[in-house]
C-alpha cells in the first residue's frame, strides 16, 4: 500500500518567506491589494513609472493561487487559440494573444534580467486527445494556429509516442513559446526586487475594507490616489463583481524523483508540458530533479463552495491515469495540495474600474500566470496613461452562456459549471 503524500505545497519547501507586517498608517500614489502575480506585475510597472507603491498581502507573496500554481507558463490557460478565434474572429483572437504574450514576456524577461532562481525550464506545450472523437479538438487547435500564423505541429495517434510515451492517446498538437517555473520562488524574488526599487510590501496584512481613497488593514489605514484590487477569486470579499467571479478547484501532486527508465516512459526524448482534452482535464510536466508534477480534479470537487481538504480519491485518479497511459503503477507522490483559481463564466478575465469608487481598479479570473501578469501591466497602464484598448474584452458587462438572472435560480456553482461545459464541449 502506497503512503499518502504530504499535504503540503512543494514549492513552499524551497524558501521560508521573511514577513514584514504593516505597523503604521501609510500613504502612497497606489496601494495594491494582493501580492500574487498580478499585484506584483502591476507594482513593478507603476514603480518603473515613478509612482510610490504599497502592496498589501494577507499571507505572503505567492501565498495564494499564484504560488500554488502548476507553473505552466503558456498563453492558452483555459482558452486556447481556437477558442479565441471562434469567440472573437481572427483580428480579435490575435489581439488577445498579443495581450497574454505581454504577460508571458514580462515574466520571462524578469527571470533573465534578474537571474531569478525559480526552476525555469523551456518546455513546449502539448495538447493531447484522450479519445478518437476528441482528436477533432486537437485538429481544430492546430488549424487555428496555422491560420493565424503561429507555429504548430500536429501528431497522429501513430506518431505521438515519439514525443509522449505510451500508446493510449489519439494524437496531439505541439507548439513552442511556453515554459515552466516555480511560481512561488518567482513571486518571492520579485518581492525582493521591488522592495529594493522602493516598493513597500507588507505581508500578513489583510485588508478588511476598501473605501474611497483608502484601505483598512488591521488597525491601520493606507491612503492612496488609486487602489488596485488583485485578489483573484477573493475579489467578491470586497463586494466587487460578486456575480461574475467564482472559483474552480484543482489538485496538484509532486512525485519523488523518478528513475531515468520511468521518466523516459513518459518523456522518451525531450520534455513537454502536457494537458488532455477531458472537460476536467489532467495535466503534467517534469520539474527539477526528475520529479513529475501532476494536476487533476473531478467534477464533484471542481465547483465546490469550499476548499476540499480530503482528496485521496483524486490522488488515486492520478495513479490510475499513469498506470493506464504509461504502464507506471509505482509512482510515489511525496507532496499534494489543493488550489483554487478565479474564473468567469466564459473563462475570459474581468478587469476594470469599480462603478461606485472611481479610484478603485480590479482584476480577476486570469486562469493563468501570463494572463495575471498581463492584467497587472494593463491596470498599471490605465493609471499611468489611461489605457482602454482592451476594456471591451474584459468588461464584466458581457454575454455569458448562463445569464446572471438564471444564476440566481440555479445557484452560482451550477451556473459556472454549466457555462464552462457549454464553452468547452457544447458550442
Whether 213 has a pLDDT exceeding 90, the answer reads yes
Residue 83 CA to chain centroid, in angstroms?
Answer: 17
The residue-averaged pLDDT of 257-261 equals 96
The residue-averaged pLDDT of 43-47 equals 98
The residue-averaged pLDDT of 127-140 equals 96
> Given 3-state DSSP classes, what are the helix, strand and coil percentages for the chain, each rounded to the nearest 5?
40, 25, 40
Q: CA end-to-end span of the chain, whole Å?
A: 43
Model-level pTM? 0.96
Task: Give pLDDT, residue 167.
Answer: 81
Strand partners, 202: 56
pLDDT interval class at 258 (50, 70, 90): very high
d(CA 239, CA 64): 19
d(CA 126, CA 282): 12
Task: Give pLDDT, residue 152.
Answer: 98
List the single range of 128-137, 172-181, 298-307 with lowest mean pLDDT. 298-307
Q: What is the DSSP letter of 396?
A: S
Q: Which residues 6+ apart lie within 8 Å of 302 measured at CB?
A: 248, 249, 250, 280, 417
pLDDT interval class at 424 (50, 70, 90): confident
Whether 280 has a pLDDT exceeding 60, the answer reads yes
Task: Give the H/E segment covering residue 207.
Answer: strand 207-211
Please name which of 226, 193, 178 lies closest in space to residue 61, comparing C-alpha atoms.
193
Task: Give pLDDT, residue 82.
Answer: 95
What is the tens place of the pLDDT at every residue in 146-193?
A: 999 999 999 999 999 999 998 899 999 999 999 999 999 999 999 999
Q: Which whole-number Å values give the CA distances from 135 to 82, 84, 132, 273, 289, in the listed order? A: 14, 19, 5, 18, 32
Residue 290 CA to chain centroid, in angstroms?
Answer: 23
pLDDT interval class at 299 (50, 70, 90): confident
Whether 425 has a pLDDT exceeding 80, the answer reads no
State what percent of residues in the chain have pLDDT above 70.
99
Whether 2 has a pLDDT exceeding 70, the answer reads no
Task: Give pLDDT, residue 1.
Answer: 52
d(CA 244, CA 350): 8
List, in order of start, the domains of the chain with CATH numbers: 13-120+179-245+344-396 (3.50.50.60), 403-427 (no CATH)
**Mean of the per-residue pLDDT values of the chain:** 95
Whether 362 has a pLDDT exceeding 90, the answer reads yes
Name the H helices within 74-224.
81-114, 135-147, 183-196
Task: Give pLDDT, residue 192.
Answer: 98
List the single range of 81-90, 250-259, 301-310 with lowest mean pLDDT. 301-310
CB 283 within 8 A of CB 72: yes
Please name which of 93, 94, 116 lies closest in space to residue 44, comparing C-alpha atoms.
116
What is the tens place of the pLDDT at every residue in 376-421?
A: 999 999 999 999 999 999 999 999 999 999 999 999 999 999 999 8
Q: Cell for 406?
A: 438564471
Whether 342 has a pLDDT exceeding 60, the answer reads yes
Whether 63 has a pLDDT exceeding 80, the answer reads yes
Whether 365 has a pLDDT exceeding 90, the answer reads yes
Neighbours of 225 (CB within 10 A): 14
Amino acid at each position: 500500500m502506497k503512503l499518502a503524500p504530504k499535504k503540503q505545497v512543494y514549492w513552499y519547501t524551497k524558501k521560508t518567506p521573511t514577513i514584514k507586517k504593516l505597523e503604521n498608517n501609510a500613504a502612497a500614489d497606489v496601494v495594491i491589494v494582493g501580492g500574487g502575480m498580478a499585484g506584483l506585475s502591476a507594482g513593478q510597472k507603476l514603480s518603473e513609472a515613478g509612482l510610490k507603491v504599497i502592496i498589501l498581502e494577507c499571507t505572503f507573496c505567492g501565498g495564494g493561487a499564484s504560488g500554488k500554481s502548476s507553473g505552466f507558463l503558456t498563453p492558452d490557460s483555459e482558452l486556447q487559440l481556437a477558442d479565441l478565434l471562434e469567440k472573437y474572429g481572427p483580428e480579435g483572437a490575435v489581439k488577445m494573444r498579443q495581450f497574454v504574450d505581454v504577460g508571458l514576456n514580462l515574466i520571462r524577461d524578469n527571470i533573465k534580467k534578474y537571474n531569478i532562481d525559480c526552476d525555469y525550464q523551456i518546455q513546449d506545450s502539448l495538447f493531447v486527445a484522450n479519445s478518437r472523437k476528441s482528436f477533432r479538438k486537437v485538429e481544430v487547435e492546430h488549424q487555428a494556429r496555422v491560420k493565424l500564423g503561429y507555429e504548430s505541429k500536429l501528431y497522429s495517434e501513430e506518431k505521438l509516442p515519439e514525443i509522449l510515451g505510451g500508446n493510449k492517446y489519439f494524437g496531439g498538437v505541439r507548439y513552442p513559446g511556453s515554459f515552466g517555473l516555480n511560481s512561488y520562488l518567482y513571486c518571492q524574488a520579485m518581492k525582493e526586487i521591488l522592495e529594493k526599487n522602493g516598493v513597500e510590501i507588507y505581508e500578513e496584512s489583510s485588508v478588511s475594507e476598501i473605501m474611497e481613497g483608502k484601505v483598512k488593514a488591521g488597525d491601520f489605514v493606507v491612503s492612496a490616489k488609486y487602489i488596485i484590487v488583485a485578489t483573484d477569486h477573493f475579489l467578491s470579499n470586497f463586494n466587487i463583481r460578486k456575480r461574475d467571479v467564482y472559483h474552480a478547484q484543482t489538485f496538484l501532486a509532486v512525485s519523488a524523483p523518478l528513475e531515468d527508465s520511468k521518466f523516459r516512459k513518459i518523456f522518451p526524448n525531450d520534455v513537454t508540458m502536457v494537458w488532455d482534452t477531458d472537460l476536467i482535464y489532467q495535466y503534467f510536466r517534469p520539474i527539477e530533479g526528475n520529479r513529475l508534477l501532476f494536476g487533476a480534479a473531478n467534477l464533484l470537487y471542481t465547483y465546490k463552495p469550499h476548499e476540499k481538504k480530503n482528496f485521496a480519491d483524486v490522488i488515486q485518479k492520478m495513479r490510475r491515469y499513469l498506470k493506464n497511459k504509461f504502464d507506471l503503477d509505482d509512482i510515489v507522490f511525496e507532496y499534494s495540495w489543493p488550489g483554487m483559481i478565479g474564473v468567469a463564466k466564459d473563462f475570459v478575465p474581468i478587469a476594470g474600474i469599480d462603478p461606485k469608487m472611481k479610484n478603485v481598479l480590479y482584476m480577476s479570473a486570469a486562469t493563468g500566470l501570463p494572463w495575471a501578469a498581463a492584467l497587472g501591466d494593463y491596470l498599471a497602464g490605465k493609471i499611468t496613461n489611461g489605457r482602454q484598448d482592451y476594456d471591451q474584452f474584459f468588461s464584466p458587462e458581457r454575454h455569458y452562456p448562463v445569464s446572471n438572472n438564471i444564476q440566481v435560480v440555479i445557484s452560482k456553482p451550477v451556473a459556472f459549471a454549466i457555462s464552462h461545459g457549454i464553452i468547452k464541449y457544447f458550442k
